[in-house]
Amino acid sequence: MTVPDTDIVSLALRDPRALPGWPLARWEALVRQARRANLLSRLAVLLDADGLLQSVPEAPRAHLDAARTVSQAQEEAVRREVAYVYQALAPTGAEIVLLKGAAYLFAGLPAARGRVFSDVDILVPGVALGQVEAALMLHGWATTHHDPYDQRYYRRWMHELPPMQHITRGTVLDVHHAILPTTARLKPDSAKLLAASRPLAGEPRLRVLAPADMVLHSATHLFFNEELGSGLRDLADLDSLLRHFGRQPGFWEQLAGRAREMDLTRPLYYALRYATRILRTPVPATALRAAEIGRPSPLLRRLMDVLYLRALRPDHPGAADRLTPLARHSLYVRAHWLRMPPVLLVYHLGVKAFRRESPGTA
C-alpha cells in the first residue's frame, strides 16, 4: 500500500471496501487517527452498509462497534435536546432553523449516519434574539462565557450568542442569528437563508436550510473556522451532502448561482476543490467550472493547498509532517483576519495573548 499514514483516514473514507484486508498495524494507525478526527463511527457505518463490518479483524472491530454505539446514543440525545429547545421556544413563536449535525439528523440525511455531535446549533431571526435567549434561560440554559470581554465580543461582533449550557443536563446550545460575524468580509444575507428554509414534516416551526444553502453553510463553517481539529469530519459532511443533493434535478445549476447571491463564492470554490481532491467527491465538470468564479489568484491557491492539504487531516501526530503546526496556526490567523477588520483583529488577538500569559486566566 503506497498511501502514507498521513492520509489513511481519507483513503478509508474513499474506499471502505478495502479495509478488511488491511494489516493490524495499519488498522491501529487508522483507529487512532479516525477517533481523533471524530470519524471512527462513520467508518463503522460505511463498513456496515457494505456488509463488511464482520470481516474486519476482531480488535479494530471492537473499537468500531464501540464508536458506533456512542454515535447512536448521541443521536438520541440530540433528538431529546431539540425537543427541549422546541418546547422552550414555543411561546416566542420564532421559527427555529436547525444547523449542521442536528439538521442532518432531523432531515434524515446520510451525513448524519455515524456522525459525532458536540452541541446543537440553531438559527433564529436577529430581531427575535433577545426573546429567544430569555426563553432559553427560563428553561435552564445559561451562558458559558462570563468574562465581560467575551460577552461584548459575542454580542457586538459575532454571529451568535455566547454558547449556552443547560444547568442540569450539561448540553451545549449555539444560538445563531447569522452564519458569519457582522464584521466579516463576506456578507451572506440571513433573511434570505431563513426565507428559503424548509419545514420538517409535522413540525411547522422546526426547519432546515434549503439544500444549496446547507452546502454553502457547511462550506462557510469549514473554511472560515479557526479550529480545524474536526476539519476532515466537516469535509466528510460536505462530501455526503454533495453526493446526496447532487442527485436532485437542478441542484448543481443552483449551487453556484446561490453562492453568488449569498456572497459565498470563495467558500464554495474551496469546498469543491478539497472535497474532490481529498475525498474524490463526484462533482460535474460544469459545476466545477461554475465555481471558478470564487477562485483565488494562482499564488494564493498554491498557498491554500499547502495549508489545507495538511490541516484537513486528523489532528494527530501520525497525520502530521513538519509543516502541519505552521499550517494550522496560519489558518487560525487567516480565519480571524477574514472575520474582523485589522484594528479589531489586533485588539482581539492581543487580549487572547494577554490571557494566555497571565496567571489565573482561563
State residue 311's pLDDT score: 96
Residue 70 burial (10 A CB sphere; 0-12, 13-18, 19+): middle
Asked if the structure places residue 95 within a domain, the reply is: yes
pLDDT tens series, the chain, 362 aa: 445 677 899 999 999 999 998 999 999 999 999 999 999 999 999 999 999 999 999 999 999 999 999 999 999 999 999 999 999 999 998 889 999 999 999 999 999 999 998 889 999 999 999 999 999 999 999 998 777 887 888 888 889 999 999 999 999 999 999 999 988 999 999 999 999 999 998 777 799 999 999 999 999 999 998 889 899 999 999 999 999 999 999 999 999 999 999 999 999 999 999 999 999 999 999 999 999 999 999 999 999 999 999 999 999 999 999 999 999 999 998 998 898 888 777 777 777 767 665 544 33
CA distance 175 to 159: 9
The verdict on residue 168 lying in a domain is yes
Contacts of 181 (CB under 8 A, 6+ apart): 157, 158, 159, 339, 340
**Is residue 175, in this structure, part of any structural domain at all?**
yes
For residues 198 and 204, give the distance between their C-alpha atoms in angstroms, rounded to a whole number. Answer: 9
Report pLDDT for 4.
Answer: 60
Alpha carbon distance 186, 263 (integer Å): 6
pTM of the prediction? 0.92
Give the chain's domain count. 1
Q: Is 262 helix (H, G, I), strand (E, B) or coil?
A: coil
Please tell me the predicted confidence (pLDDT) of residue 355.
66
* Residue 218 vs residues 3, 60, 72, 224: alpha-carbon distances, Å: 28, 30, 22, 10
- Nearest Cα to Cα of residue 65 among 76, 56, 77, 75: 56
Phi-psi region of 178 (alpha: psi -120 to 50; beta: other; left: phi over 0): beta
Max intra-chain CA distance, the chain: 59
Task: Find the radius of gyration of the CA atoms of the chain.
Answer: 21
Tell me if 280 sits within 8 A of 203, measured CB to CB: no
Location of C-alpha cell 494550522: 328
Domain range enclosing 89: 5-357
Assess if residue 362 is contained within a domain. no
- Spatial separation of the C-alpha atoms in residues 186 and 171, rounded to whole Å: 31
The residues, any chain, with a CB within 8 Å of residue 153's CB and separated by 6 or more, are 348
